[in-house]
Amino acid sequence: MHSNIYIALYNTEDGEGKYHWALIIRDPEHKLSEPLCVYQIVKKKKWETNHDGGARLSAPLLCLIEMPSLETNPKEVDAFIRQQPAGQGSSALLRGQKGWSSAHWVIRTLEGMAELRWFEESVGDHADFYDYIANVKGKNYEQGVAAGPEFAHVYGAHMGITVDGIRVLDTM
């Protein structure tokens, strides 16, 4: 059995290209419009996990980035993610980043899944992966939406497709 996994990018008040990251796990038999498992960390006094096994995707969600399917079942994925600490611990910060963030946590969690061989390959260089997701995928999609439908041909490859009412981009 396999599981579908997505990186959710949520708009923040920090401006264009600045996103809150979360992981979405979906059983292939369920639609994106149905309640899903959303895994994330949030900063209160310190970083804390904020997982929801029955969330509906809504604003300020910008888009989902579809990752390759995981070669395991959703229950194993859930158990693994729930074991991931919210804080930085001994994890290195991404090149050019000043502090721990939800993006760091998502990337570290994805790398842990790769180490379990749930993905065929690792996410590679973490800073390059971050730049690709935030600055190529997210920012280009955000600019395409702002430009409007008359410029769809310019941003076409970055606009993804709509699945169950949710905009989904692939990692390619």
- What is the tens place of the pLDDT at every residue in 14-31? 766 689 999 999 888 889
Decide which of 148 and 17 is more confident: 148
Residue 11's pLDDT is 87
From the list 54, 76, 52, the residue with the least C-alpha distance to 2 is 76
Any domain includes 70: yes
Any domain includes 91: no
Using alpha carbons only, what angle is made at residue 23 by residues 46 and 103, rounded to the nearest 5 degrees? 50
Any domain includes 123: yes
Any domain includes 93: no
Q: Mean pLDDT, to the nearest integer, of 76-101?
A: 92
pTM of the predicted model as reported, rounded to 2 decimal places: 0.90
Domain that holds residue 48: 4-86+100-170
Find which of 12-21, 40-49, 65-74 is predicted with most confidence, using mean pLDDT.
40-49
In the chain, which residue ranges form alpha helices assigned H by DSSP? 74-82, 102-115, 126-131, 139-147, 152-155
Kindly report the number of other CB atoms within 10 A of residue 51's CB atom.
16
From the list 92, 121, 97, 119, the residue with the least C-alpha distance to 108 is 92
Average pLDDT of the chain is 86
Any domain includes 119: yes
Main-chain dihedrals φ then ψ at residue 112, nearest 5 degrees:
-60, -35
Any domain includes 92: no
pLDDT 10s digits, 72-85: 888 899 999 999 99
- Least confident window among 1-5, 22-26, 82-86, 168-172: 168-172
pLDDT band at 169; cut points 50, 70, 90: confident
Decide which of 6 and 155 is more confident: 6
Instruction: Using the predicted structure, report yes or no on whether residue 109 has a pLDDT greater than 90.
Output: yes
Any domain includes 107: yes
Instruction: Using the predicted structure, report yes or no on whether residue 163 has a pLDDT greater than 90.
Output: no
Q: Mean pLDDT, to the nearest integer, of 37-43?
A: 94
Number of domains making up the chain: 1
